[in-house]
Amino acid sequence: KLAPFPEDFFWGASTSAYQVEGASLEDGKGPSCQDVKEVPEGTSDLTVCADHYHHYKEDIKLMADMGFKSYRFSIAWTRILPEGTGEINQKGIEFYNNVINECLKYGIEPIVTMFHFDMPAALDARGSWGNPESVEWFVNYAMVLYESFGDRVKYWLTINEQNMLTLVGPVIGTLTIPEGTENVLKEIYQQNHHMLVAQSKAMVLCHEMLPNAKIGPAPNISLVYPATCKPEDVIAAQNFNAVRNWLYLDAAVYGRYNSIVWAWLKQNDACPTFAPGDEEALKNGHPDFIGFNYYNTGTVEADDGSVEESPFGGDQQNGGGVAGMYKSYRNPNLQQTEFGWEIDPVGFRATIREMDSRYDLPMLVTENGLGAYDKVGEDGKVHDPYRIEYLRRHIEQIQEAITDGAEMLGYNPWSAIDLISTHEGMRKRYGFIYVDREDFDLGTMERQIKDSGWWYKKVIESNGED
């Protein structure tokens, strides 16, 4: 018999500032790396997005109509601090005050991501995460957030998908490698180290300033399978698991580097340099829970010598591998989305079980979801049975994991509302709420709840029984 979902389970959904808000330079907002990056060919830029900046009231009302218990969104660093450090932009504070208050009005718990892929351009120009000062920039930004919103925000997420920044950073438009860098691997992991230290310090500060708040990381966690039961493939899977997943959680939870990753970096002369106090700083931070995004599992085999030398490790969707460590493998047992992403609900349970046994902390699903070409039907509605099927199968596996003993705090799939996809622009939609616009035609911006949203409402009402 399956265990029930907890009574106070956070059923909700997610967005991020640079993908949903638009108004990218309005009301004093400074440019972020996303505003100045070259968008992939054939996709929209990020100036308008779903225009949530001007529609937030309507959007949160629709979330309330679906019965949301939580809404995970990110704060744009440059709306608060246009230059990344220095002067505070009151209009930015006002906007997020309004968003938070609007959520609370409907009993929706705001879950706030502090950093979701949008480094202030001004800080990029100063070396971004490669600059050792980045630790202080982030901690200072965190302090402003706690001071401004800490009286109402109880759940904080530090850095969204830090692991994707190191694995595919340039694809996302973040993680800049300075020209002329000799040891790119070392540079990547030095930047990563600064993020880890910054995160740890932000967790300590959160606990000092807001004793009732809870804070956690938000990496993208995918359990990695070996392609076969060949021992060499198992070693490859351990390698990718370490590089992709455990490095981030070992550091966040235990304040130490994963030994497999450290040994690999050492062999490549790429271990990050610790500043005085870093070791202690890493040890001092403790998350209250693990936030994580899950889209699919990974599968790898041993490198047969064909993996090209590249400092970036790639991920399941982008393929790749690391020479001598692992090579990506398409799992023949899994279906794929229209966009070629593998679908693995049972792997969701496996991933949760693995995290539970390694870290023994409550877990909050901060993303999961299906990107598809949704269309308005002849009846004017959006019928997305494929998304209902996808979500249902994943929710079932959360319940299995709860039955296995995992403590699950909530489920916040991607995305609350249609927004701009990282790689595919507007055509790849994830939302429960449809937005009438295309990549190059801003449309009416009208909103409507899709079939999946009405279905989700029933799931929430019945606390997962539907």
Is there a contact between 297 and 346 (Cβ–Cβ < 8 Å)? no
371 binds ligand BGP (CB under 6 A): yes
In the complex, least distance from residue 272 CB atom to ligand BGP, rounded to whole angstroms: 24
422 binds ligand BGP (CB under 6 A): yes
How far is CA 290 from each of CA 29, 121, 253, 261, rounded to the nearest angstrom?
30, 29, 9, 21
In the complex, least distance from residue 343 CB atom to ligand BGP, rounded to whole angstroms: 13
Catalytic pick among 109, 187, 367, 400: 367
Stretch that binds ligand BGP, among 175-183, 199-207, 321-329, 423-431 (CB under 6 A): 423-431
Q: Can you tell me which of 201, 428, 429, 457 binds ligand BGP, judged by CB under 6 A? A: 428
Question: Whose CA is closest to 193, among 282, 122, 84, 116?
Answer: 282
55 binds ligand BGP (CB under 6 A): no
Is there a contact between 202 and 215 (Cβ–Cβ < 8 Å)? yes
Q: Can you tell me which of 286, 381, 392, 423 binds ligand BGP, judged by CB under 6 A? A: 423
In the complex, least distance from residue 224 CB atom to ligand BGP, rounded to whole angstroms: 17
Is there a contact between 143 and 156 (Cβ–Cβ < 8 Å)? no
User: Using CA atoms, how far apart are residues 426 and 373, in angstroms rounded to an integer?
Assistant: 9
457 binds ligand BGP (CB under 6 A): no
Q: Which is nearer to ligand BGP, 178 or 319 (CB)?
A: 319
Stretch that binds ligand BGP, among 92-100, 136-144, 256-264, 414-422 (CB under 6 A): 414-422
In the complex, least distance from residue 416 CB atom to ligand BGP, rounded to whole angstroms: 12
412 binds ligand BGP (CB under 6 A): no
Interface with ligand BGP: number of residues (CB under 6 A): 15
DSSP H or E stretch at residue 127: none
Q: Which two tokens stand for residue 345?
A: 């609900």
Is there a contact between 220 and 313 (Cβ–Cβ < 8 Å)? no
SS3 of residue 250 by DSSP: helix
Stretch that binds ligand BGP, among 24-32, 262-270, 330-338, 418-426 (CB under 6 A): 418-426
User: Using CA atoms, how far apart are residues 326 and 238, in angstroms rounded to an integer?
Assistant: 9
34 binds ligand BGP (CB under 6 A): no
In the complex, least distance from residue 160 CB atom to ligand BGP, rounded to whole angstroms: 5
Instruction: Using CB atoms within 10 Å of the CB of residue 443, give its burial: 0 to 12 exposed, 13 to 18 middle, 19+ buried.
Output: exposed
Binders of ligand BGP among residues 276 to 305 (CB under 6 A) are 293
Q: What is the DSSP letter of 414?
A: B
Q: Can you tell me which of 24, 134, 174, 220 binds ligand BGP, judged by CB under 6 A? A: 220
Stretch that binds ligand BGP, among 62-70, 138-146, 249-257, 415-423 (CB under 6 A): 415-423
User: Using CA atoms, how far apart are residues 307 and 34, in angstroms rounded to an integer?
Assistant: 30
Binders of ligand BGP among residues 151 to 180 (CB under 6 A) are 160-161, 164
In the complex, least distance from residue 444 CB atom to ligand BGP, rounded to whole angstroms: 23
421 binds ligand BGP (CB under 6 A): yes
Q: Where are the beta strands (DSSP E) in 192-350?
A: 214-218, 224-226, 290-293, 298-301, 321-322, 326-328, 335-336, 342-343
Question: Whose CA is closest to 38, among 209, 146, 170?
Answer: 170
| Gyration radius of the chain over CA positions | 21
Question: Whose CA is closest to 450, among 408, 399, 370, 387?
Answer: 387
Q: Which is nearer to ligand BGP, 358 or 423 (CB)?
A: 423
The verdict on whether 354 is a catalytic residue reads no
In the complex, least distance from residue 394 CB atom to ligand BGP, rounded to whole angstroms: 15
- Could you list the active site residues? 367
Residues lying near ligand BGP in the complex (CB under 6 A)? 16, 19, 160-161, 164, 220, 293, 367, 371, 414, 421-424, 428
